[in-house]
């Protein structure tokens, strides 16, 4: 049951990702991308990584895709007529085949020599609760407090920058 | 997978126990899950009818009219008649519209509402799933309704629709920041991001609800959350996305028949979902409003929790409707000014002050 579901979801991820990059209409591609994000979240839930799945949905579907859509809607040319020429399409396919072959070879190598890489992951990872993640992020010993603070400073700067940029210029009105 | 789903979120109420006593374990988990989904679907369908009837009646009485009176006693069957009419109307797709997206878009707001309803704790054991990061889930999934509106506006191949969609996208994305910050405040106070945990953190009398427990700041946060969620719902006074007088209906201009009805349903069920979230975060969810009095409290506790929950949620829904018939529509720039120059700094300050209150132990 578990394996069967995994294959269904994994093939959905593969298919939707493929659609996202091959569909000529950008907006259709974006919708396929949303689908693939959801399917990826489903895989995270199967691995019992609930927080990762929720973050995936909240960040990608709720945030990034919406901004992508706004950008796409503001572009005039949706790329409907911009299909690749046969030569360059062939090149892209060739690159894809080479990369796929390389990754398959890597997987085969590591599955036949499990002592090299897979030892850390061969035990099923214990599910990490959202509380543990929060405590670990903010703890001063053995935690991630410094990167957390740096990131929050960066985000604050971005937020203030956005407010400053969108502020109305009052200089011209003051002249008369 | 089904077995681990059942381990994570077992259906603990008496229906779940009955199903488990009849069927063996793997089948029982599947049947329980299906039953939960079916009951959610029934809830969404019946809520749509109830809320549309309420909106028409409330708006009519605000304007000293009767509203629908002919179909059934006091017009009670009017939603049914409206629904049948919408189903039999023709769906007209404008020339040059993108067929796939045009028909996909109306489904997204309803599915967002449906997905959020799955984590709402209606009663102690009346909740489809209780993920530990429930608040995060709510924030993420509600992005689907923005997606639906944006796609509808673009796919209609109409300038009014696109303008409405862009306005509404900008508005919903902006106000989601305030909503997220206020949710964060509640998560900080409750010490958990699970919706059930948030309700359980407000156990006790009425003064243990977050709206009253946090001195002064609670009621302020409640009002700000109401304003931000009204804007997120695209309801008057923030309905610049539809703006009948300027944009002839915004993103829904080109929709007719059942696909328009889906937008309508999504809008109303989303309003109920927002009211449910307000109830969960500020009004103690399914807890009865106890006052610490000896005789009245046991009587109030006799009423089942889900009735309290629905009573509180419909009170908030009534507030939303009241807003609609009280305030005039704001302009686009006023709306953006409200969010970025007033609500955002205010919610940040509120968050910091509440952090101070929690750290000093002044809560409650």
Each residue's pLDDT tens digit, B202-230: 888 878 888 888 778 888 889 999 999 99
Strand partners, B123: B126
Distance CA B115, CA B111 (A): 6
Q: What is the mean pLDDT of residues B338-361?
A: 86
Confirm if B263 and B52 have CB atoms less than 8 A apart: no
Distance CA B146, CA A6 (A): 30
Distance CA A125, CA B322 (A): 51
Question: Higher-confidence residue: A126 or B333?
Answer: B333
Helices B143-155 and B159-190 sit at what angle, rounded to 10 degrees?
180
User: pLDDT tens string for chain A (176 positions)?
Assistant: 677 888 899 999 999 998 888 887 778 888 888 889 989 988 888 877 788 888 888 888 877 888 888 787 777 666 556 566 667 778 888 888 999 999 999 888 877 776 665 555 555 556 677 778 888 888 888 778 888 889 999 998 998 888 788 776 665 555 44
Confirm if B269 and B44 have CB atoms less than 8 A apart: yes
The alpha carbon of residue B64 is apart from the nearest alpha carbon of chain A, in Å, by 41
Contact (CB<8Å) B3/A1:
yes
> φ and ψ at A53, to 5 degrees?
-65, -45
The alpha carbon of residue B130 is apart from the nearest alpha carbon of chain A, in Å, by 11
Q: With a threshold of 0.85, tell me whether the complex ipTM lies above it.
A: no
Distance CA B283, CA B262 (A): 30
pLDDT at B71: 82
Chain A positions touching B1 (Cβ under 8 A) are 1-2, 5, 46
Q: Closest-CA residue in chain A for B191? A: A131
Confirm if B91 and B256 have CB atoms less than 8 A apart: yes
Banded model confidence at residue B277, pLDDT cuts 50, 70, 90 = very high
Q: What is the mean pLDDT of residues B50-79?
A: 85
pLDDT at B2: 40
Distance CA A4, CA A10 (A): 10
B141 touches chain A (CB under 8 A): yes
Encode pLDDT of B288-308 as tens digits.
888 877 788 888 878 888 888
Distance CA B6, CA B29 (A): 6
Encode pLDDT of B234-269 as tens digits.
887 877 766 666 666 677 777 777 888 888 888 889
Between A and B, how many residue pairs show a Cβ–Cβ distance under 8 A?
94
- pTM value is 0.84
How large is the C-alpha radius of gyration of chain A?
23
Distance CA B118, CA B124 (A): 14
Chain A positions touching B2 (Cβ under 8 A) are 1
pLDDT at B276: 92
Contact (CB<8Å) B1/A5:
yes
DSSP at B32 = H
Contact (CB<8Å) B1/A54:
no
Contact (CB<8Å) A54/B3:
no
Distance CA A55, CA A45 (A): 11
With a CB cutoff of 8 Å and minimum separation 6, the contacts of B308 are B286, B287, B288, B289
Banded model confidence at residue B278, pLDDT cuts 50, 70, 90 = very high
CB atoms within 10 A of CB B364: 13
B173 touches chain A (CB under 8 A): yes
pLDDT at B3: 42
Give the residue from B108, B118, B150 with the most A CB atoms within 10 Å of its CB, the best one to mutate.
Answer: B150
pLDDT at A80: 57
Distance CA A133, CA A135 (A): 6
Confirm if B22 and B48 have CB atoms less than 8 A apart: no
pLDDT at A129: 76
Most confident of A86-95, B19-28, B321-330, B355-364: B321-330
């Amino acid at each position: 049951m578990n394996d069967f579901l995994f294959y269904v979801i994994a093939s959905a991820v593969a298919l939707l990702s493929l659609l996202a990059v091959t569909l000529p209409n950008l907006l259709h591609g974006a919708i396929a991308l949303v689908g693939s994000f959801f399917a990826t979240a489903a895989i995270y839930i199967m691995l019992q990584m609930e927080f990762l799945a929720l973050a995936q949905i909240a960040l990608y579907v709720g945030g990034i895709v919406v901004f992508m859509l706004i950008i796409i809607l503001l572009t005039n040319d949706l790329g409907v007529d911009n299909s690749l020429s046969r030569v360059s399409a062939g090149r892209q396919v060739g690159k894809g085949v080479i990369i796929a072959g390389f990754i398959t070879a890597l997987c085969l190598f590591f599955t036949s020599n499990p002592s090299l890489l897979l030892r850390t992951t061969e035990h099923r990872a214990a599910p990490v609760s959202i509380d543990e993640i929060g405590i670990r992020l903010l703890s001063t010993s053995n935690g991630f407090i410094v990167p957390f603070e740096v990131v929050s400073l960066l985000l604050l700067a971005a937020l203030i920058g956005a407010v400053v940029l969108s502020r109305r210029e009052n200089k011209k009105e003051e002249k008369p | 997978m089904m077995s681990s789903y059942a381990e994570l979120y077992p259906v603990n109420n008496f229906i779940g126990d009955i199903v488990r006593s009849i069927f063996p374990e793997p089948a029982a988990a599947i049947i329980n899950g299906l039953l939960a989904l079916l009951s959610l679907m029934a809830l969404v369908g019946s809520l749509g009818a109830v809320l549309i009837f309420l909106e028409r009646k409330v708006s009519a009485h605000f304007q000293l009219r009767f509203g629908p009176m002919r179909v059934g006693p006091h017009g009670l069957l009017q939603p049914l008649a409206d629904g049948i009419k919408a189903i039999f109307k023709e769906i007209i797709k404008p020339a040059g519209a993108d067929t796939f997206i045009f028909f996909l878009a109306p489904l997204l707001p309803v599915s967002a509402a449906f997905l959020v309803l799955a984590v709402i704790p209606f009663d102690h054991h009346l909740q489809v799933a209780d993920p530990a990061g429930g608040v995060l889930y709510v924030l993420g999934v509600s992005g689907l309704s923005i997606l639906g509106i944006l796609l509808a506006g673009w796919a209609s191949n109409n300038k009014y629709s696109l303008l409405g969609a862009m306005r509404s996208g900008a508005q919903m994305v902006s106000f989601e920041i305030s909503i997220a910050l206020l949710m964060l405040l509640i998560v900080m106070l409750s010490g958990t991001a699970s919706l059930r945990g948030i309700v359980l953190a407000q156990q006790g009398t009425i003064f243990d609800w977050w709206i009253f427990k946090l001195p002064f700041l609670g009621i302020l946060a409640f009002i700000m959350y109401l304003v931000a969620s009204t804007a997120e719902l695209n309801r008057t006074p923030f309905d610049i996305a539809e703006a009948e007088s300027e944009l002839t209906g915004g993103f829904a201009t080109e929709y007719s028949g059942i696909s328009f009805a889906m937008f309508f349903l999504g809008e109303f069920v989303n309003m109920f979902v927002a009211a449910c979230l307000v109830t969960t975060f500020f009004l103690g969810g399914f807890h009865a409003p106890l006052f610490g009095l000896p005789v009245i409290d046991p009587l109030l506790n006799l009423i089942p929790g889900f009735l309290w929950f629905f009573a509180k949620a419909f009170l908030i829904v009534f507030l939303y409707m009241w807003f609609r018939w009280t305030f005039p529509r704001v302009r686009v720039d006023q709306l953006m000014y409200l969010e970025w120059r007033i609500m955002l700094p205010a919610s940040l300050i509120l968050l910091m002050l509440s952090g101070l209150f929690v750290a000093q132990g002044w809560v409650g």
